[in-house]
């Protein structure tokens, strides 16, 4: 029992305390014997000091941390015990041996510590706890003598102890690692991490495990370890270590094409700033721990080993931090890896951000050259061509001789193709070929040039480029393409005879060539162009026989066959060929051509029904075709010509009903507008020659609803909105603007923006804006630009948001939004509003030159003549008054007078112009003219209630009081 | 080899002492369980008798206190969009440490920041602003002061005063701040640009969060949501969908993921 107590507390209460308790009676004489014992230790042969007294002195030495002196005494006692003496009562030999082993360990006498602990473990009397303590010392002592392989089984055995399990696992892993037994080390760490609490020790073990997994190329396991560490980031001390491992793991993963895993790893890497900041906090934490440990002196092997290793770890971390502090470009390698990995995963926006930062902060690092290429590609792939071009220019400026520049030009040209920016594409190709004629990419770029010119209709240049390719790269990868392109360029240059020869040469050179079918068709087309109809007819018939029915060019061939038949005057055959073409695959351009040709020939034959049926069939069979709207137009026109208006409306309604519940189908509004045009027509004359009364709005509403809705869609919000819209269009065509506005307002009041299609969002937003309901208007505009930014109606949203910002005095935002209406949405509907909006916003910001330019543009555009002109002329006058000076004021006066003379019907602007005119007269000192102007304004009843009229009244009263009765004001204003 | 082994060996550390103690000027430590805060003093009842020993609060120079579990719990609630519950969870901690707000070891600042964020999330604009101002004037932790300034900037944005918000962010960014504060600042700049419908610019800010601050899990969901919206505004619906999906998959329990589901087709 005593032994058990002793051993179980051994590690928590240092042995010296236990010795003190057991040997208390001997302390009384300790003082007398101290010197003697010391001497006795040196001359033991002569003086046999009793063992208890030596033990008490050993304890004293331990307390004084004189471990060397203490161990000498303890070894002396052990020698005497082994020689036959017995230890004092209450002191067990097992405990004593353990104490010696511990102390020897602390003195770094690892061999002796190992020897003593081994001796202890061989004793049959040793209890389990002491055995575990001894095993621990033995294991550590072995490891510290580099006997790692011997230490591994010792720690493995120790894992059976609940007290030592975690420590044993950790030390086994470390010993195994050093012994080259990596799987054993991994196994131990895995066991350790399963159950240990997530503290700094755990985190360090996890870090080691990740390192080993990496070493063993177990990348999935390493990734899991890293994820686990990220989730327990606060526990980790060695952040510099985490950074290194994360980079290594990321590199290993990207090398195996696992970009997703690599990104996860790289994103765990801390930037230099953050690493230094956090590591500094961690170092403080480690130093505190160390200080606490040192303050709590304990003689166990665990504690002393801990302190020693913590000191080493702290030192290593500090060295790493010092290195990182010195390395200003530490982040560059991280940014490059992240940028590259984002790019590989399609995160091109993120890649661009990273490459930009790298090039800005670390322009001179080795990675910068590749970063420029990455940046160009990132901008190219995200469709930001202006930025891409800017990046290329910067690349040229920074590294004019970089061999990677050719890649940048090539990538840029490809992006320009995708974005349909031909001018940029060709500039890049030309410069790329000029600068890098020897680059392997030059061949690609020459062919791209030829293709570009051909597509752009620059056939001369296409011919030249194709010819350059054929002569420069006669064995190039694309020689067949270039040969064919050259022949085709000849054809479209209007030299059919020459092209037939060139195409024949192509067919001879490449009898199984990729363009064989195309070449044969083009030869027939060339003969058609030469009006060799019979030859063309024969060649086309042969083509149709030789190539299978599923050949994608078959529709085009039939279409040309129709043309040939027209040339031969065989209209019915032509119609049959066009119908055959219509049943096959055609490009939109070809489809439109064939439909138009058929409509034309049917009309020539006065077969309106056949044409109308063709369009009706087409709309039914190809409901998603962009020509469905054309179908609606022709059905309406052809059936009207037959006097079948109701049939036309019915057919259009059938088409409209298919899409009416889908707000994203914005073409529906155009269809409904055409349908409304038919509904708004006055009724035909009756048999009595009298015209029946036009349908009432209620009847129109009923008709619209019956045509456009089905029982299941009647209450669907989008359908309701479109019904109102159609009624509003009819009302508008019947010049009933009150009803039109009322219906549009109902849409806004009854239908949520989410259910409205883009066209209606814009219109309803404008109604709200007109009524001053800015929040509701903003709701519509916001939804429009956020959900339909590519819509035909998107400019409604941007212009509306600009107007709202303008009214709120947020001129910066207003300018941005008006700009978006033009630059982003193309201002297809709101060019005037956007231009005028920018002009008035610039005026409010005091940017008079830019504002003047835009107002002049509006005032000078004939199509915009009206209120916008009045506003612009007035504003130009306002700009002049703001500049001041008599000459400017006189010019301003002319502008104001032009408003109230030439644009009288735009009352609000006339009122402003009168007032400003009067004020300008006053500034010029022409008070009588000013008074006359105010009076002239006040005589016009249209201005009653206008704030300008109140101001004019006030100024007139003041002027009347100032001017003497002897000098009456002119009866009319200055302008009059 | 031995040195290498020693370096590698990770020590058996003695865990931090987790007592909840008030440390006085004279170095004396009072266990929280032995005293109570009464009338501006720490009062300890002497064992065995009714006598009391009191210590003025001014004598306390430091707290030795583990992080209250409520802080992490409240932060999690906030991230899950449960702002009201987060406020309830954190307010007792905020109150408990309010008397020791400026002392080293106090958890007041941390609690106050979470509380202010919870108030903002509930759109209690006035209270949130007061809370942020209190942190700004009281906290001695530069990080928490920056966090409070960020909230004030966010408040200006909500009041549709983006210029002021922008200027405040410039001020915050001038100080060397942590990744988290930097991430929150760029995210807020993204919000400003988005509010102005400057979608490309907004993307340039939002996407800095995943690019540079990949460890800031508190900020990433809102930055991803912002990027999804900005992509849509920019007209790139496929990238918008991808960002929504990324958000839903990576942070499924965040409040932003719930919004992403409503705004997208996923």
CB nearest A310 (choices: B2, B11, B197): B11
Alpha-carbon distance A504 to A511, whole Å? 10
- Could you say which residues of chain B have pLDDT below 50? 1-18
**How far apart are alpha carbons A104 and A86 in whole angstroms?**
22
Q: Do the Cβ atoms of A787 and B232 come within 8 Å? A: yes
**A215 inside 8 A of chain B by CB:** no
Instruction: Report pLDDT for A14.
Output: 39
Comparing A92-96, A198-202, A815-819, B130-134, the range with the smallest average pLDDT is A198-202
* From B11, B16, B200, residue closest to A309, measured CB to CB: B11
A857/chain B closest Cα distance in angstroms: 26
Over range A97-119, report the average pLDDT.
Answer: 92
The 3-state DSSP class for residue A205 equals helix
Decide: A91 and A22 in contact? Cβ < 8 Å.
Answer: yes
- A200 vs B5, B13, B229: nearest CB: B13
Tell me which residue in A306, A384, A786 faces B12 most closely, judged by beta carbons: A306
Residue A9 has what pLDDT?
Answer: 28
The percent of residues above 90 in pLDDT, for chain A, comes to 48
Exposed (0-12), middle (13-18) or buried (19+): which is B183, by Cβ within 10 Å?
A: buried
| Residue of A81 and B51 predicted with greater confidence | A81
* Cβ neighbours of residue A746 closer than 8 Å, sequence gap 6 or more: A724
**Which residues lie closer than 8 Å to B1 by C-beta, 6 or more apart?**
A146, A178
End-to-end CA distance of chain A: 126
Task: Give residue A970's pLDDT.
Answer: 59
Q: Where are the beta strands (DSSP E) in chain B?
A: 21-24, 29-31, 35-38, 41-45, 52-56, 60-64
Q: Are B263 and B229 in contact (CB under 8 A)?
A: yes
Question: Rounded to whole angstroms, how far apart are CA atoms A371 and A631?
Answer: 52
Average pLDDT of every residue of chain B: 85
DSSP letter at A66? -
pLDDT band at A517 (very low <50, low <70, confident <90, very high): very high
pLDDT band at residue A299 under the 50/70/90 scheme: low
Asked if A511 and A481 count as a contact pair (C-beta separation under 8 A), the reply is: no
Chain A, nearest residue to B229 by Cα: A786
Please answer whether residues A933 and A917 qualify as being in contact, where contact means their C-beta atoms are separated by less than 8 angstroms. yes
A212/A178 Cα distance (integer angstroms): 11
Phi, psi of B109 (to 5 degrees): -55, -45
Q: How far apart are the C-alpha atoms of B34 and A237, rounded to whole Å?
A: 34
DSSP state of B29: E
Local confidence band at A415 (pLDDT 50, 70, 90 cut-offs): confident
Candidate from B12, B176, B215 with C-beta closest to A230? B215
How far apart, in whole angstroms, are the C-alpha atoms of residue A478 and residue A472?
12
* A345 interfaces chain B, CB cutoff of 8 Å: no
Residue closest to A51 by CA, chosen among A80, A9, A71: A80
- Residue in B closest to A229 by C-alpha: B215
- Residue of chain B with shortest Cα separation from A358: B212
pLDDT score at B172: 85
Question: Which residues of B fall within a CB distance of 8 Å from A302?
Answer: 12
- By three-state DSSP, how is residue B4 classified? helix
- The contacts of residue B76 (CB under 8 Å, 6+ apart) are none
Which of B14, B211, B232 shows the shortest C-beta gap to A293? B14
Residues 6+ apart with CB under 8 A from A190: A209
Beta strands B52-56 and B29-31, pairing class:
unpaired
Q: Is the pLDDT of residue A968 over 70?
A: no
Model pLDDT for residues A545-601, shown as the tens digit of each residue? 999 999 999 999 999 999 999 999 999 999 999 999 999 988 888 998 999 999 999
First-residue to last-residue Cα distance in chain B: 56
| Nearest neighbour of B11 by CB, restricted to A270, A306, A812 | A306
d(CA A682, CA A249): 78
Question: Over 60: is that where the pLDDT of A975 sits?
Answer: no
For A805, which residue in chain B has the nearest alpha carbon?
B196
Burial class (CB in 10 A: 0-12, 13-18, 19+), A592: middle
The Cα-based distances of A524 to A224, A564, A881, A938, B202 in angstroms read 66, 10, 71, 79, 55
Beta carbons of B211 and A354 less than 8 Å apart? yes
pLDDT attached to residue A515: 92
Distance CA A609, CA A602 (A): 9
Alpha-carbon gap, residue A555 to A587, rounded angstroms: 9
Q: Which domains does chain B show, CATH number per domain?
A: 21-63 (no CATH), 67-177 (1.25.40.10)
pLDDT tens per residue, range A202-252: 888 898 899 999 989 999 999 988 888 888 888 888 898 889 999 999 999
Query: What residues 811-850 of chain A have any CB closer than 8 A to a CB of chain B?
Result: 812-813, 816-817, 820
**Amino acid A13: pLDDT:** 33
Q: Count CB-CB contacts under 10 A for residue A468.
A: 17
Query: pLDDT tens across A792-806, in order?
Result: 889 999 999 999 999
Q: What's the whole-model pTM score?
A: 0.63
Distance (Å, whole) CA A663 – CA A758: 7
Q: What is the mean pLDDT of residues A31-35?
A: 39
A708 against A20, higher pLDDT: A708
Handedness of CA B239, B245, B249, B250 (dihedral sign): positive
Tell me the CA distances in angstroms from A908 to A858, B59, B148, one per residue in order: 18, 74, 49
Residue B23 CA from chain centroid, whole number: 26
pLDDT at A674: 83
Cβ separation of B215 and A270 shorter than 8 Å?
yes
Distance CA A173, CA A938 (A): 100
pLDDT on residue B158: 83
Give CA–CA dist A789/A787, Å, rounded: 6
Tell me the C-alpha distance between A629 and A507, whole Å.
42
What is the rounded average pLDDT of the residues A851-855?
95
Give the long-range contacts of residues A67-70, CB within 8 A, separation 24 or more: A67/A103, A67/A106, A67/A107, A67/A299, A68/A107, A70/A103
For A317, nearest residue in chain B (alpha carbons): B7
pLDDT mean over A317-336: 90
pLDDT at B130: 92
Residue window 370-399, chain A: list those with CB within 8 Å of chain B. Answer: 382-384
Complex ipTM more than 0.95, yes or no: no
pLDDT score recorded for residue A2: 31
Q: How far is B132 from chain A (nearest CA, A)?
A: 25
CA–CA distances in Å: residue A736 to residues A353, A728, A729, A764, B234:
55, 9, 10, 18, 38
Which residue in chain A has the smallest CA separation from B12? A306
Residue A17 pLDDT > 70:
no
DSSP A396: H
Higher per-residue confidence, A828 vs A394: A394
Q: Per-residue b/e over A769-791, b at no fewer than 16 CB within 10 Å?
A: beeeebebbbbbbbbbbbbbbeb
Can you give the pLDDT at residue A967?
A: 57
Packing angle, helices A886-902 and A907-923, rounded to 10: 150
**Which of B197, B229, B239 would best serve as a mutation to test chain A binding (most A beta carbons within 10 A)?**
B197
Q: In this predicted structure, what is the pLDDT of residue A115?
A: 94
Q: Is A400 exposed, middle or buried (0-12, 13-18, 19+ CB in 10 A)?
A: exposed
Task: Tell me if chain B has a CB within 8 Å of the CB of A267.
Answer: yes
Dump strand ranges (E) for B200-263: none
Chain A with chain B: Cβ pairs closer than 8 A:
129
Alpha carbon of B222: minimum distance to chain A alpha carbons (Å): 16
> Is residue A846's pLDDT more than 80?
yes
């Amino acid at each position: 029992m005593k032994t058990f107590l002793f051993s179980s507390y051994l590690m928590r209460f240092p042995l010296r305390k236990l010795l003190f308790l057991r040997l208390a009676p001997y302390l009384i004489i300790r003082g007398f014997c101290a010197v003697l014992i010391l001497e006795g230790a040196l001359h033991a042969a002569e003086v046999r000091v009793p063992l208890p007294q030596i033990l008490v002195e050993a304890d004293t030495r331990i307390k004084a941390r004189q471990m060397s002196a203490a161990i000498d005494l303890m070894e002396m006692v052990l020698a005497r015990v082994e020689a036959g003496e017995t230890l004092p009562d209450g002191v067990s030999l097992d405990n004593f041996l353990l104490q010696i082993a511990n102390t020897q360990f602390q003195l770094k006498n690892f061999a002796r510590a190992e020897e003593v602990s081994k001796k202890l473990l061989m004793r049959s009397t040793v209890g389990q706890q002491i055995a575990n303590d001894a095993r621990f010392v033995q294991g550590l002592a072995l490891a510290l003598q580099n006997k790692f392989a011997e230490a591994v089984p010792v720690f493995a055995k120790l894992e059976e102890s609940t007290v030592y399990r975690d420590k044993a696992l950790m030390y086994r892993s470390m010993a195994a690692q050093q012994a080259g037994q990596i799987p054993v080390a991994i196994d131990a760490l895995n066991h350790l991490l399963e159950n240990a609490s997530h503290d700094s020790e755990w985190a360090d073990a996890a870090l080691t495990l990740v390192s080993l997994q990496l070493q063993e190329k177990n990348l999935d396991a390493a990734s899991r370890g890293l994820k686990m560490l990220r989730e327990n980031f606060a526990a980790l001390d060695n952040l510099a270590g985490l950074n290194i491992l994360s980079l290594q793991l990321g590199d290993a993963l990207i090398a195996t094409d696992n970009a997703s895993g690599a990104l996860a790893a790289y994103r765990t890497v801390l930037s230099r700033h953050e690493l230094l900041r956090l590591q500094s906090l961690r170092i403080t934490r480690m130093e505190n721990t160390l200080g606490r440990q040192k303050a709590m002196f304990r003689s166990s092997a665990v504690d002393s080993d801990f302190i020693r290793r913590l000191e080493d770890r702290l030192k290593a971390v500090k060295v790493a931090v010092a290195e990182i502090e010195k390395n200003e470009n530490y982040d560059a390698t991280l940014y490059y890896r992240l940028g590259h990995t984002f790019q590989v995963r399609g995160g091109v926006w993120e890649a661009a951000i990273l490459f930009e930062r790298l090039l800005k902060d670390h322009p001179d690092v080795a990675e910068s050259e590749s970063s420029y290429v990455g940046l160009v590609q990132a901008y190219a792939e995200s469709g930001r061509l202006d930025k891409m071009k800017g990046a290329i220019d910067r690349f040229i400026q920074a590294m004019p001789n970089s061999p990677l520049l050719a890649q940048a030009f090539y990538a840029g040209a490809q992006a320009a193709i995708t974005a349909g920016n031909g001018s940029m594409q060709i500039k890049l190709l030309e410069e790329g070929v000029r600068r890098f004629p020897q680059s392997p990419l030059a061949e690609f770029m020459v062919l791209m040039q030829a293709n570009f010119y051909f597509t752009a209709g620059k056939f001369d240049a296409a011919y030249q480029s194709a010819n350059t390719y054929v002569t420069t790269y006669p064995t190039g990868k694309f020689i067949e393409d270039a040969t064919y392109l050259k022949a085709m360029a000849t054809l479209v240059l209007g030299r059919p005879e020459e092209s037939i020869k060139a195409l024949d040469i192509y067919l001879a050179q490449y009898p199984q060539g990729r363009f064989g079918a195309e070449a044969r068709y083009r030869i027939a087309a060339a003969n058609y162009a030469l009006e060799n109809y019979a030859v063309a007819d024969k060649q086309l018939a042969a083509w149709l026989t030789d190539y299978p029915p599923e050949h994608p060019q078959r529709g085009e061939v039939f279409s040309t066959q129709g043309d040939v038949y027209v040339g031969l005057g065989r209209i019915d055959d032509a119609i049959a060929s066009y119908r055959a073409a219509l049943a096959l695959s055609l490009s939109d351009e070809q489809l439109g051509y064939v439909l138009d040709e058929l409509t034309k020939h049917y009309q020539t034959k006065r077969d309106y029904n056949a044409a109308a049926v063709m369009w009706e069939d087409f709309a039914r069979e190809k409901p998603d075709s962009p020509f469905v709207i054309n179908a609606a137009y022709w059905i309406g026109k052809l059936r009207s010509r037959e006097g079948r208006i109701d049939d036309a409306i019915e057919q259009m309604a059938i088409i409209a009903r298919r899409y009416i519940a889908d707000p994203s189908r914005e073409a529906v509004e155009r269809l409904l507008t055409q349908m409304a045009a038919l509904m708004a027509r006055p009724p035909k004359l009756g048999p009595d020659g009298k015209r029946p009364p036009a349908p009432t709005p209620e009847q129109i509403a009923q008709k619209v609803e019956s045509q456009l809705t089905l029982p299941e869609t009647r209450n669907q919000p989008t359908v309701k909105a479109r019904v109102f819209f159609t009624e509003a269009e009819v009302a508008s065509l019947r010049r009933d603007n009150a009803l039109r506005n009322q219906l549009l307002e109902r849409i806004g009041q009854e239908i949520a923006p989410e259910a409205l299609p883009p066209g209606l969002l814009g219109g309803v937003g404008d109604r709200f804006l007109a009524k001053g309901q800015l929040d509701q208007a903003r709701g519509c505009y916001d939804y429009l630009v956020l959900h339909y930014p590519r819509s035909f109606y998107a400019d409604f949203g941007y212009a509306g948001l600009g107007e709202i910002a303008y009214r709120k005095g947020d001129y910066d935002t207003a300018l941005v939004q008006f700009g978006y209406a033009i630059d982003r949405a193309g201002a297809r509907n709101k060019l005037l509003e956007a231009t005028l909006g920018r002009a008035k916003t610039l005026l409010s910001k005091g940017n008079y030159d830019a504002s003047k330019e835009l107002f002049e543009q509006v005032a000078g555009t004939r199509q915009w003549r009206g209120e916008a002109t009045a506003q612009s002329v007035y504003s130009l006058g306002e700009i002049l008054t703001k500049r001041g000076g008599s000459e400017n004021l006189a010019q301003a006066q002319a502008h104001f007078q032009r408003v109230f003379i030439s644009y009288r019907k735009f009352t609000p602007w006339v009122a402003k112009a009168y007032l400003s005119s009067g004020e300008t007269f006053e500034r010029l000192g022409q008070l009588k003219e000013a008074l006359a102007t105010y009076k002239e304004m006040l005589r016009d009843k249209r201005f009653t209630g206008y704030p300008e009229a109140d101001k004019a009244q006030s100024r007139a009263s003041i002027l009347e009081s100032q001017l003497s009765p002897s000098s009456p004001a002119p009866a009319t204003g200055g302008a009059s | 080899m031995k040195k290498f082994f020693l370096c590698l060996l990770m020590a058996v550390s003695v865990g931090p002492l987790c007592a909840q103690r008030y440390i006085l000027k004279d170095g004396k430590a009072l266990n929280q369980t032995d005293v109570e805060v009464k009338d501006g003093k720490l009062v300890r009842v002497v064992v065995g008798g009714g006598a009391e020993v009191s210590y003025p609060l001014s004598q306390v120079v430091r707290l030795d206190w583990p992080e209250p579990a409520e802080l992490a719990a409240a932060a999690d609630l906030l991230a899950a969009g449960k702002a009201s519950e987060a406020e309830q969870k954190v307010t007792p901690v905020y109150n408990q440490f309010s008397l020791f707000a400026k002392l080293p070891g106090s958890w007041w600042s941390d609690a106050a920041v979470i509380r202010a964020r919870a108030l903002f999330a509930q759109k209690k604009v006035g209270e949130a602003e007061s809370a942020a101002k209190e942190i700004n004037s009281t906290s001695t932790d530069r990080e928490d002061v920056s966090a409070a300034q960020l909230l004030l900037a966010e408040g200006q944005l909500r009041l549709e005063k983006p210029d002021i918000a922008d200027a405040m962010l410039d001020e915050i960014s001038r100080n060397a701040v942590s990744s988290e504060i930097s991430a929150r600042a760029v995210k807020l700049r993204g919000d400003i640009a988005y509010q102005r419908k400057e979608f490309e610019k907004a993307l340039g800010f939002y996407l800095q969060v995943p690019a540079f601050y990949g460890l800031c899990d508190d900020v990433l969901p809102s930055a991803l949501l912002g990027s999804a919206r900005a992509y849509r505004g920019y007209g790139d619906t496929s990238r918008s969908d991808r960002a929504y999906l990324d958000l839903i998959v990576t942070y499924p329990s965040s409040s932003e993921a719930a919004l992403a589901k409503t705004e997208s087709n996923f």
